[in-house]
Amino acid sequence: MPATTKTNFQLVSNGILNENPIFRLALSMCPAVGISTTVMNGLMLGIAVLFVQVFSSCTIAAIKNYIHPRIRIPTYTLTIATWVTVIDLVLAAYVPAAYKEMGIFVKLIVAFAIITMRLETFACKNTVSASFWDGIGMGFGFMFGMVALGFVRELLGMGTLLGYDVLGFRPLLFFVLPAAGFFCVGIMMALFNYVEIVYNRKKRAR
Amino acid sequence: MKQIIRITVGLTISCLIAALVMGSVFVITDKAKRHNEHVNVQQTMLGLLGYSTSHPAPPELKLYSIYRYIFTDGNVNTLGYVLPVLKGGGVGYQLMEMDLDGGFVAQYPLDLAPEDASESAERSAALRKAIKPPKTFSYADATIVAKLGEKRLAYLLPGEFPGFKTFIHVMLALDPSFEILGLEITEQEEDPGLGAEIKQDYFKNQFKGKSFKKIKELHVVKEPLPEEYKAYLESQKGKESPIPKAELDVIRSRYQDKDIYALTGATISSKAVTDGVKNMVAKFAYRINRLDKVISARNIPAVF
C-alpha cells in the first residue's frame, strides 16, 4: 500500500465508520465480547486503547526507516508493550481515580489485534502526522463500538446506564453474560452493513 | 551472517531503548504510586470506621499494624508477630515468637522504624537481622488495630478469599467484641451485573451489625431481598436518607439476626463472600485472644 492520500478528516472518519475496528474489520473481538458489559467499561477501555494506538502509531511511523523488515513484528510488540506499561505506571501515579476504574483494562491492551494491525498496514508506510490521525480515528472507532455495545448490553441486561437506574427493572439478565456479547456484536455488524448498503444505493441513484 | 548480526543488533537496541523508557518511568512514578495506594487503603479504613471528609477522624484516633509471620525451622512451624510496642517514649517494633498452641517461645528486639513498618521489604530486612538461619519466615497477614485514646475502637482486617472467578480482596472492620462494623470489597473481578454486585451497598451492608455469635452460623438464603431492607441497606452510607431514623431502627432490629440474602444469579459469589467473612472473623477472634493472653502474661509493652 502506498502512502495515504487521505486528508486528516478522512483518516479519522475512516477509523470510525468505513474501517471501524469492531464492526467492519472484526478485530479485537475478545474485549468487544468480554468487556463491553457496561457503558463505563466500554468507555474506559476505549480511552486506554485510544492512547496506546496513537502513541504506538506515532512511534512506529517515526522509526519506520530504522526497522529491519524481517523483525518488524517483535518491534511492534515491544513498542505496544512499552507504551502500555508507561501509561499504566503514569495513570497509577498521577490519576489514581481513573486508574481505579481503568487499571485492569490497560494491561490487556498489549495483546489487542487492532493496534498491531494498524502498525503493520498503516503506520509503517506513512508519516507521523498521518499515523497520528489514523490512530485517533481507530481509537475513537473502537471506543464508539465498545460504548455502543455497552449501551445495549447494560440497558437490556441491568436496566441501568452509566450505573444510574433508568428502567427500574432488569429486562434480560442474559445480556450481561459473555454469550450475549456475540449476539450484540453480530446484530450491530449487520446493522452497520445494512446502513452501508442503503447509503451506497442512494448514492448511486443520485 | 551479516543479516544475523544486523537483526541481533537491531532487536537488542530496540529492547534496550524500551527497557530504558520503562525503567525511567517506573523510577519517576513509583513513589507517587505507592503514596496513592497508601492513601487509598487509609481512606478505606477510615470509611469503615465511619469517618469521611465531612466527618473527619479525631486526632486521638491511632492505627497500629500487627504483622503475622510463619517461621519454619525444619519441620517445626511457629508464629512470629511483629508488634508495635512502647519504646523510649515513642512507638517501636518488637518480634514475638509463639508456638502453634499459643505458648510463648521468645522475643527479639527489631530494628524497624515506625514509618518503614508498612513496607514489606523493610520488615523482611529487619526480620532477617533478628532471626538466625536455618529458621526461615514467610509473611502471613496483617491486622490493624484502631485505638481511640486508651480504648480499642476496632480491628481492621485486610483479607482475600476465592470468589467465583478470581480472588476477592476485602477489608473487614470488627469491634472489640467481634461484631462486624463494616465490609468493603477492595478488589474483585466477578461478572458485571451478577457477581460484581457484591460491592453494592445492598449486599455488603447486610454484614454490618452481625454479632460474633450470629457470624458463626451465618448462611446464605436464596430469597428475594425485602424492599424495606434494601432501602435500609442503601441508606447506610452517611447520606441523608428519606426514611426517618426511628423507622430505620425498627428495620435494623427486624433483620439483625437474619442470614445473608443471596444476589440474584450470583449465589456462588454471595456464598464465597459470606464464607470468606465467616472464616476471617473466626480465625481472627481465635488468634487475637491468644495473642492478648501472651502479651499480658509476658508484660509486653504493646501499644494496641
**Of B198 and B304, which is predicted with more confidence?**
B198
Across A85-94, A148-157, A175-184, least confident range: A175-184
Q: Which residues lie closer than 8 Å to B98 by C-beta, 6 or more apart?
A: B78, B79, B80, B81, B104, B105, B290, B291, B294
B25/A89 CB distance under 8 A:
yes
Q: Provide the phi-psi class of B256: left if phi over 0, else alpha when psi is between -120 and 50, else beta.
A: alpha
Residue B154's Cβ-side half-sphere holds a number of Cα atoms within 13 Å equal to: 20
What pLDDT is attached to residue B82? 87
Rounded distance, CA A182 to CA B2, Å?
Answer: 49
Rounded distance, CA B200 to CA B266, Å?
Answer: 13
Q: Residue B265: its chain A contacts at CB < 8 A?
A: 173
**pTM of the entire predicted model:** 0.75
Residue A59 touches chain B, beta carbons under 8 Å: no
Interface test with A, best of B6, B29, B227 (most A CBs within 10 A): B29
Across A55-64, A119-128, B220-229, B232-241, least confident range: B232-241
What pLDDT is attached to residue A81? 92
Sketch the domain layout of chain A as residue ranges.
8-205
Mean pLDDT of chain B: 84
Q: Omega into B59 within 30° of 0, i.e. cis?
A: no
What pLDDT is attached to residue B239? 54
Residue A78 touches chain B, beta carbons under 8 Å: yes
Tell me the C-alpha to C-alpha distance, in Å, between residue A148 and each of A13, A48, A188: 17, 17, 9
pLDDT grade for A126, boundaries at 50, 70 and 90 = confident
Distance from CA of A96 to the nearest CA of B (A): 7
Residue of A nearest to B18 (CA): A82
Grid coordinates representing B152 are 480499642
Q: How many CB pairs under 8 A join A and B?
A: 74
Q: Select from A37, A41, A94 the Cβ nearest to the Cβ of B32.
A: A94
Grid coordinates representing B290 are 491468644
Across A94-98, B209-213, B236-240, least confident range: B236-240
Is a pLDDT exceeding 70 seen at residue A2? no
- In contact, B201 and B234? CB cutoff 8 Å: yes
A74/B265 CB distance under 8 A:
no
Interface test with A, best of B21, B36, B39 (most A CBs within 10 A): B36
Q: Over the stretch B236-293, which tens digit does the pLDDT of each residue have?
A: 655 556 667 777 778 877 787 788 888 888 889 999 999 999 999 999 988 888 888 8
Backbone angles phi, psi at A3, to 5 degrees: -55, 145
**Of B236 and A200, which is predicted with more confidence?**
A200
Distance from CA of A112 to the nearest CA of B (A): 19
Neighbour count for residue B84 (Cβ, 10 Å): 23
**Of B23 and B122, which is predicted with more confidence?**
B23
Q: Over the stretch A37-55, which tens digit does the pLDDT of each residue have?
A: 888 888 888 888 899 999 9
What pLDDT is attached to residue B19? 93
Mean pLDDT of A53-58: 91
Mean pLDDT of chain A: 84
Residue B185's DSSP bridge partners are B170
What pLDDT is attached to residue B242? 66
Mean pLDDT of B165-185: 89
The crossing angle, in degrees rounded to 10, of helices B2-48 and A72-94 is 20
- In Å, how far from its chain's centre is CA A59? 18
Q: Over the stretch B65-103, which tens digit does the pLDDT of each residue have?
A: 889 988 888 888 888 888 888 877 778 888 888 888 878
What pLDDT is attached to residue B94? 84
B264/A173 CB distance under 8 A:
yes
Is a pLDDT exceeding 70 seen at residue B162? yes
Interface test with A, best of B7, B8, B15, B22 (most A CBs within 10 A): B22
